[in-house]
Structure formats: structure tokens, C-alpha cells
């Protein structure tokens, strides 16, 4: 019979916390456009970045469960052959949806150091990430949120 996590002692919880991932606070992915050595900074010195939650966050799990449920429903209604014939646009939409499930903000800066005044909304993010010319940003975002080491908690002081 599994142990209820609530029943863990404070000492055990403190020890587990040293190896736990941060799943509730977003992390900053610096945006380094192709051809630039560093992320551009705006007039105030703020680097271009995306704010992402971990693949283990509640939002990511909800999205993954929804996708799995939809895939099962699709298999029940149209069979396996239909699921194998997805087109490139559907794959892009799926990738965008995965990233949108964990993207919670951004600070966009152009290559000249000017802030891009595009407010963060799901609609704006979807439109930006679906642009073929921004495929590199979608790819980097997906790689970042799948990498657990980007979400480790700060090391305790020795």
C-alpha cells in the first residue's frame, strides 16, 4: 500500500525537497535568435526571454492528458490508419499547443535592442509560434521545457 505524501514527516519532506524539481514557478529561457551570440537586451537592459513551466507542471499534465484522451477518441472513431496520416500543419499545431500549455509570459526584443510591444496572450503566442520564420523559437522552447535540469531548485548552501 503506497504511503500518502501528506503522511511524510517534515524531515523526509525537507530531504525530498533537495532533489525535487520546481513545477509551480516558471523559469526563464533566454531568447538567442539565430546568428546572434547573445540574447538581445532592451533599452532597460532586460534580455529577451520566454517564461516556461516544467513538463511536470500541473498545466503540462492537464494538456498531456487531454491530448491522450483525444487520441484515444480518434482511434475509436476512425481507426489507426487515420492517426498515421497526420500532415505537417497538424504536427506544427500539436507542437505549438504543447509549448502553449507551459508558456506563461515573455519579454520580446528585436536584434537592434528595441522592445517588441506584443503583449503576451495565448492568441498572440499561437500566432507567433506558428510563423514558419519563428520555428527556431518553437523548437528551442520545446527542448527547454523537456529538460529537467532547467527546473532544478537552487542548490542548498553548504
Per domain, the residue ranges of the chain are 21-150
Q: What is the pLDDT of residue 34?
A: 93
CA–CA dist 48, 28 (Å, integer): 9
Q: What is the pLDDT of residue 62?
A: 82
Digitized pLDDT (tens) for each residue of the chain, 158 residues in all = 555 656 788 888 777 776 666 777 888 999 999 999 999 999 999 999 999 888 777 877 786 677 667 666 666 676 655 544 456 677 778 889 989 988 999 999 999 999 999 999 999 999 999 999 999 999 999 888 778 777 677 544 43
Inter-CA distances, 19 with 66, 84, 140, Å: 29, 39, 25
3-state secondary structure of 51: strand
Amino acid at each position: 500500500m503506497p504511503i500518502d505524501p501528506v503522511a511524510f514527516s517534515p524531515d523526509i519532506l525537507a530531504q525530498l525537497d533537495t532533489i525535487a524539481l520546481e513545477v509551480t514557478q516558471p523559469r526563464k529561457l533566454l531568447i538567442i535568435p539565430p546568428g546572434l551570440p547573445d540574447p538581445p537586451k532592451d533599452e532597460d537592459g532586460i534580455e529577451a526571454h520566454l517564461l516556461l513551466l516544467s513538463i511536470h507542471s500541473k498545466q503540462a499534465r492537464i494538456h498531456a492528458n487531454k491530448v491522450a484522451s483525444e487520441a484515444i477518441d480518434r482511434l475509436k472513431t476512425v481507426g489507426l490508419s487515420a492517426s498515421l496520416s497526420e500532415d505537417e500543419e497538424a504536427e506544427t499545431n500539436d507542437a505549438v499547443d504543447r509549448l502553449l500549455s507551459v508558456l506563461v509570459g515573455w519579454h520580446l526584443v528585436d536584434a537592434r535592442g528595441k522592445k517588441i510591444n506584443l503583449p503576451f496572450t495565448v492568441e498572440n503566442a499561437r500566432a507567433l509560434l506558428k510563423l514558419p520564420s519563428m520555428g527556431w523559437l518553437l523548437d528551442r522552447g520545446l527542448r527547454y521545457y523537456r529538460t529537467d535540469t532547467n527546473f532544478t531548485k537552487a542548490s542548498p548552501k553548504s
